[in-house]
Structures are given as structure tokens and as C-alpha cells.
Amino acid sequence: MTEEFTDEEKKGLYKAIYSRRDVRSHFTSRSIKDDVLSRILNAAHHAPSVGFSQPWNFILIKDITTKMKIKSSFEEEKTHSSKLVEEPKRSKYLSFKLEGILESDINLCVTYDPSKFGPFVIGRSSIPEAGLYSVCCAIQNLWLAARTEGVGLGWVSILSNDTLKKILELPDHVVPIAYLCLGYVDEFAQKPDLETAGWLSRLDLKDVVYFERWNNKESVDWSKIQEMIKINIDYP
């Protein structure tokens, strides 16, 4: 018999989803205890994966020397990427705090190993990228688990994968997918930082949902759709 979630359990799940933030600042000096970290990692390890291949690994980083090397790569890549936009956006982009590598308690590199369980993985033959998508599912599990534990998490995507592979001594076939900063924070922002800064705004749900085929929104009563999917909790 399927075990149903109580209303309170449902609210807890949606609270974690809607209040999750990409944390770049507000990290405190408080350390993450081993039991909390274990629960977060175990949640990530219980993500769905194509062919049950579990193609992820988690590299925990606390050494300040390693963090400094990663931070240097970030600074180089941020400067390089800033050349892709013109002023005044360039200056605004450069002013953003986009990582917490040194401030966070733990850095975590999540990797993808396509060689696990041999060359044939059920479900990966037609869409080879399905293994990579599986790792992204693990990252999302990790992110939501961290939020429920009161731990902030920031994904640092402005990095050189080649540099990461060299610093962390990854085998040639292993791909770094995410470099994450974890630590307790003194607050979780009400909105994503880039939304608050006016860089981009959140699209309405009706702008990203089509019916039956691409870009088809004909004869759709959005008032009924929105009422149908409305969740009676305190998060929008």
C-alpha cells in the first residue's frame, strides 16, 4: 500500500523547494557536524539514476590551500567572462558576489563517472547524456536536503573544468559537474540574489508551459490551471 504524505509533510517539501537559494554570502563560522553532512550526502546518493548506475562521486574539500587554488580559477574565469558583456552590465556583473569558496565551511565537487557498471547502462544507449542528468538529480537532492538542515549551498559555475580536474587529480574519464560551497548562513534571502538585483526576473508559469506541442497555448483557461496547481502554503 502506498504511504501517503501528510499535509504537514507536503508543506515541508514545498517549503524546502521554494526557500532554497543559491548562497554566495552570509556564511558563518559554524562548522557542519558529521551527522548532518552524512544525511545530506545520503540524500544525494538516493537520487534516481539512469539504469541505477549511480554515476556520481562527492569530493569533500576543507583544505584552505585547495580552496585558494579554486578561488584563483574563479577570479580568472570571472574576468574572462566579463568581456562577453558591454557596459553598464559588465560593471554590474563584476560587482556581484558570485561565490563563497573561502567563506563556506566545506567545498564539494560532484563528479560524473560514465564508466561505472561497464559500458552498457540501461537507458543510456539512446541518450548518452542521461548519466549526466542523473548527477544533476543528485545535486538537487543534496541542495534540498541541505536547505532542510539549515545549511546554505552555492553552486560555483564560473570555473575551469580543466583546472578543477588538475587540482583535484581527477581521472581523465571523470567529469566535474558541480563545485558547491556548503555552510551555515545567518539568513536565507527571500528571493534569488540576481532577481533582487534586477539582473533577471522569474518567468510566470504560463510562459513556460505548452500543451501537446511546442508553443501551443490555444484554448487554455489559465485561471483554471492555476487554481488546479495552487498549493496552500506560505511560499509563492
- What confidence score (pLDDT) does residue 204 get? 83
| Cα–Cα dist 89/194, whole Å | 13
Indicate which CATH number applies to the domain containing 80. 3.40.109.10
Tell me if 166 is assigned to some domain. Answer: yes
| Cα–Cα dist 55/141, whole Å | 15
The DSSP symbol for 27 reads B
Tell me if 204 is assigned to some domain. Answer: no
Tell me if 210 is assigned to some domain. Answer: no
Tell me if 84 is assigned to some domain. Answer: yes
- What confidence score (pLDDT) does residue 227 get? 66
Tell me if 178 is assigned to some domain. Answer: yes
What are the pLDDT digits (tens) for 55-102? 999 999 999 999 999 999 999 999 999 999 999 999 999 999 999 999
What are the pLDDT digits (tens) for 39-63? 999 999 999 999 999 999 999 999 9
| Cα–Cα dist 183/181, whole Å | 7
Tell me if 234 is assigned to some domain. Answer: no
**Tally of domains within the chain:** 1
- What confidence score (pLDDT) does residue 189 get? 86
- The low-confidence residues of the chain, meaning pLDDT below 50, are 232-233, 236
Q: If you count them, how many residues does the chain have?
A: 236
Tell me if 131 is assigned to some domain. Answer: yes
- What confidence score (pLDDT) does residue 229 get? 60
Q: Which domain holds residue 120?
A: 14-186
Whole-angstrom Cα Rg for the chain: 20
Tell me if 193 is assigned to some domain. Answer: no
The SS3 of residue 185 is strand
